[in-house]
């Protein structure tokens, strides 16, 4: 991890590539790199991360002299305001002045803002960032909105508790939201293919996402139901306390665990599902009535699940662990009858049943 850069970097006036520019305090008799040196590095291109912006090291007037917005060969900019262990804490207005002066060029495709606690600068709502595709906000406790650009393709928002709304973004393909408890509204995302939500309390329902292929939700306490997304291929749902129902989803692989209120995995059947993992579901009693493409089934810690009455003609591997109401003989009979019901021969190759300390494991 880069922690110290000595003074003198600004003398490399022909430098083309610099991934990390660190503003540093002096270290003993060695002077640290200061923000004024960046002014001389006006031939930089590609990606540039500027760190050490907090702690009283940087003055607004010096930052304005950098003219960052005129560095037209940059395609990615990260502005890092995170505080070190021994740093003094700048006021929100001071940070706002710094970020205002560090306006990035309109040509960038990627923008990251980390550890910033001030209000949004004027350029933040500038719609001239037509090339911007992948913004990222991290540890920004005062942000209520994200940059309002309709051409965004990838968005990452982490640890922004006051973020209130995500607008409709017609071209967005990837969205990752972590620990944003204040988020109330997510607009329509018609092109979204990947959604990752971790430790959020709201909203109760998710937006229209007809192109969604991959879903990963963890500790999303406010979510009541997961919708019918016709393009979904992979889904993981973990520790969503209020979730009760997962309606029909065409996923190829699905995992549901730690959702104590889930009563129903689907109200009919999942025709394309090939792999299903279910664990720590205290209320769930049964599976969907028909899983015609299922090849692998894992069931673990389901205290009220009794047996399977599901048609699974393609099932090859089945694993059952700590399901106390499960009757083994009844299970084997149901699997042998229903697995082979629509096939010439039973497809089941591996069956494992574990109840507390007793284990039955065999190849079929």
DSSP secondary structure, 270-325, as one string:
-TT--EEEEES-SS-----SB-TT--EEEEES-TT------B-TT--EEEEES-TT
C-alpha distance from residue 306 to each of 82, 200, 270, 302 (Å): 52, 33, 21, 9
HSE of 16, CA atoms in CB hemisphere, 13 A: 0
User: Rounded to an integer, what distance in angstroms lies between the CA atom of residue 240 and that of residue 223?
Assistant: 7
Q: What local confidence, expressed as pLDDT, does residue 336 receive?
A: 64
53, two tokens: 């912006």
- Between CA 302 and CA 326 the distance in angstroms is 9
d(C-alpha 228, C-alpha 214), whole Å: 13
Contact 319, 297 (CB under 8 A): yes
d(CA 232, CA 50) in angstroms, rounded, equals 38
Q: Give the pTM.
A: 0.84
Question: What pLDDT does residue 309 have?
Answer: 64
Rg (CA), the chain: 27
Pairing of strands 275-279, 245-246: unpaired
For the chain, list residues with pLDDT below 50.
Answer: 339-340, 342-344
E strands along the chain, which residues?
20-22, 46-51, 74-80, 110-114, 134-138, 154-158, 165-166, 174-178, 185-186, 194-200, 214-220, 225-226, 234-238, 245-246, 253-257, 275-279, 296-300, 317-321, 350-355, 358-363
Read off the pLDDT of residues 38-92 as tens digits, 9 standing for 90 and up: 999 999 999 999 998 887 788 888 999 999 999 999 999 999 988 766 666 667 7
Tell me, what DSSP letter sits at residue 338?
H
- Indicate the length of the chain as a whole number: 364
Residue 27 DSSP label: B
Model pLDDT for residues 101-136, shown as the tens digit of each residue: 999 999 999 999 998 887 778 887 777 888 888 888
| Beta carbons of 281 and 259 less than 8 angstroms apart | yes
Omega of the bond leading into 203 within 30 degrees of 0 (cis): yes
């Amino acid at each position: 991890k880069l922690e110290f850069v000595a003074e003198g970097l600004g003398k490399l006036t022909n430098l083309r590539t610099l991934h990390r520019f660190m503003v540093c305090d002096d270290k003993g008799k060695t002077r640290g790199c200061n923000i004024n040196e960046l002014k001389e590095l006006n031939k930089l291109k590609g990606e540039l991360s500027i760190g050490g912006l907090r702690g009283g090291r940087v003055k607004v007037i010096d930052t304005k002299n950098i003219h960052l917005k005129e560095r037209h060969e940059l395609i990615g900019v990260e502005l890092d305001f995170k505080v070190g262990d021994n740093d003094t804490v700048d006021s929100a207005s001071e940070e706002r002045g710094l970020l205002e002066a560090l306006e990035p060029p309109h040509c960038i495709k990627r923008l990251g803002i980390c550890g910033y606690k001030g209000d949004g600068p004027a350029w933040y709502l500038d719609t001239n960032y037509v090339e911007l595709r992948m913004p990222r906000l991290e540890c920004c406790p005062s942000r209520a909105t994200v940059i309002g650009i309709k051409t965004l393709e990838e968005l990452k928002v982490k640890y922004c508790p006051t973020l209130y709304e995500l607008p409709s973004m017609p071209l967005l393909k990837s969205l990752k939201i972590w620990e944003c408890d204040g988020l109330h509204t997510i607009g329509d995302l018609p092109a979204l293919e990947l959604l990752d939500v971790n430790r959020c309390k709201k909203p109760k329902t998710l937006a229209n996402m007809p192109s969604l292929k991959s879903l990963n939700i963890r500790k999303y306490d406010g979510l009541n139901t997961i919708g019918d997304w016709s393009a979904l291929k992979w889904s993981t749902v973990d520790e969503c306390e209020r979730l009760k129902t997962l309606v029909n989803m065409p996923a190829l692989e699905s995992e549901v665990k730690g959702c104590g209120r889930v009563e129903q995995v689907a109200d009919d059947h999942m025709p394309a599902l090939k792999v299903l993992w279910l664990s720590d579901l205290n209320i769930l009693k049964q599976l969907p009535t028909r899983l015609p493409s299922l090849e692998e089934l894992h069931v673990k810690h389901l205290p009220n699940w009794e047996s399977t009455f599901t048609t699974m003609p393609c099932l090859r591997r089945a694993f059952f662990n700590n399901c106390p109401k499960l009757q083994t003989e009844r299970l084997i009979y149901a699997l042998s009858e229903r697995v082979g019901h629509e096939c010439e021969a039973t497809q089941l190759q591996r069956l494992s049943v574990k109840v507390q300390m007793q284990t039955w494991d065999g190849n079929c």
